Structure 1
Amino acid sequence: MKLILRWLASAAAVGLAVYLLPGLDYDGRIETLFVVALVLGLVNAIVRPMVKMMACGIIVLTLGLALLVINAVMLYLTTFIAGHLGYGFHIDSFVDAIIGSVVISLATWLLSMFINDDDKRRR
């Protein structure tokens, strides 16, 4: 149940980013937001750790600012995959991807604070 709630929170965060940023656009279907949230979660779980491991020197050298670029690239990869699956999600520029990834991260973090975590209550 918690996984579904986190997925819904991620879809809401993607919807918020599309609403707030004129450089992010989607085809208007609600299922597109759910698919983009699912693809983004899979990309962040599978691809992002490998990219971070390969770029750890650059991340340290830039004091973590390279993570903004990595997050934007993961959002671009999500756009590419969602487009090939037949869902219209589009990012206009790289700056929009950076700002969009920050908005999605912050909104997901904020919404996940309201999801009840049973493990924390047991301790």
Structure 2
Amino acid sequence: MGFLTSLLIRLGSTALAFWLATLLIPGITLETSSISEAIVTLLIVAVIFGVVNALLQPIIKTVGCGLYLLTLGLIALVVNGLLFLLTGYIADQLDLPFHVDGFWPAAVLGALFVGVVTWLLGLVLDRD
């Protein structure tokens, strides 16, 4: 499977995970009037989430290495929740109809849910 195909599969599975999160987790909302607008919004949010994670996650892990060791990795839930909340903030700034309301119920659960769903979809879909 080529690089572009793998990238598109990851983008689609992340967008699907975000859509499922809007349906299942209170505090994560997608306020669109059409299916095409929802698909475009979810794809853009998936790209934002991927860029935020790609740029900030390595820096945070390097700087906060001691906290990761001290908390046995549990600080990763907080970090992922903050990155999820940042994604919602950037989407708000771009006037996208995707909103994350609050840190504990929405952002942390949303980040955990999206991570697990994309991992599961990656196992099923991203095969050579």
Is it true that 1:15 corresponds to 2:19 in the alignment? yes
Deviation readout 1:16-58 (Å, 9 max, x if unpaired): 1111011111222221111111100111111111111111111
Aligned equivalents of 1:91, 1:116: Cα separation in 2: 28
CA 1:21–1:116 in 2, change beyond 3 Å: closer, same or farther? closer
Q: Which runs of 4+ in 1 moved over 6 A?
A: none
Shift of 1:93: 1.5
Gaps of 5+ in 1: 119-123
TM-score (norm 1): 0.90
Shift of 1:2: 1.4
Aligned equivalents of 2:81, 2:69: Cα separation in 1: 18
- Provide the aligned C-alpha RMSD in A: 1.1
Aligned equivalents of 1:54, 1:40: Cα separation in 2: 20
Shift of 1:116: 3.6
Gaps of 5+ in 2: 33-37
Q: Which moved more, 1:43-52 or 1:84-93?
A: 84-93
Q: Percent identity?
A: 39
Aligned equivalents of 2:126, 2:111: Cα separation in 1: 24
Q: Give the 5 Å matches for 1:1-123.
A: 1-28=5-32, 29-95=38-104, 96-118=106-128
TM-score (norm 2): 0.87
Shift of 1:91: 1.5
